[in-house]
Amino acid sequence: MALSTQSAVRGVLNGRYAEAAVGGTLIGFLFEWTVKFSTRTADVTAHGDFWEYNAAMQTGWVFTAKQFVPIASTAHSPNALYTSGAVPAQFTVAGYSGSVASGTKIFEGTGTPTDAELNAPMDMATQGFSIQGNGPPATGV
């Protein structure tokens, strides 16, 4: 899955007009994407310590995207990430500053889809997905 963002005129990262694709097939126009890193900790505070102390344990990441549905598309996020009767496959997600072809890769990692949604209200249809990272990202940390 490749994601791209366009840079604003002033050279700042802007997530508008990003695209999501799986195997080169467009599955959405992103209006938001986030990578959240987190670290579990264990309390190692000793008896009588005034301040709490902790030790870092496992670190992980979750990639979340929200997007518009392309017109007349059957290749939406739930369709692309989940197959009936099968365990979700590992996907590689990548975020770029600029286009995928000529932009700078600012994040890339492989993980498992943990949820996806398709929302069709009376206005613009939206969709979204989350990928739970499997190991460290290849780019971005």
CATH for 61 = 2.40.30
Q: Which amino acid is at 117?
A: E
CA distance linking residue 72 with residue 24, whole number of Å = 17
Q: Does any domain span residue 139?
A: no
Output the pLDDT for position 12. 54
**What's the CA gap between 32 and 67, in Å, rounded?**
7
pLDDT at 77: 82
For the chain, what is the domain count? 1
How confident is the chain (141 residues) per 10-residue block, as mean pLDDT?
52 58 73 91 95 96 88 76 81 79 83 91 87 92 78
Domain that holds residue 99: 2-133
3-state DSSP call for residue 77? helix
Sign of CA dihedral 83, 86, 92, 93: positive
Residue 70 contacts by C-beta under 8 Å, 6 or more apart in sequence? 26, 27, 28, 29
Whether 138 maps to a domain, the answer reads no
Asked if the structure places residue 141 within a domain, the reply is no
**Amino acid sitting at position 65:** A
Strands 2-7 and 104-119: unpaired
Strands 2-7 and 91-97: parallel
Question: Does any domain span residue 19?
Answer: yes
With respect to residue 67, please indicate whether it lies within any of the assigned structural domains.
yes
Per-residue model confidence (pLDDT) at position 41: 97
Which pLDDT score, from 0 to 100, does residue 62 have? Answer: 95
In a domain, 101, yes or no: yes
pLDDT (0 to 100) of residue 64: 92
107: tokens are: 């994040």
pLDDT digits (tens, 9 = 90+) for 44-80: 999 999 999 999 999 999 999 888 887 766 778 888 8
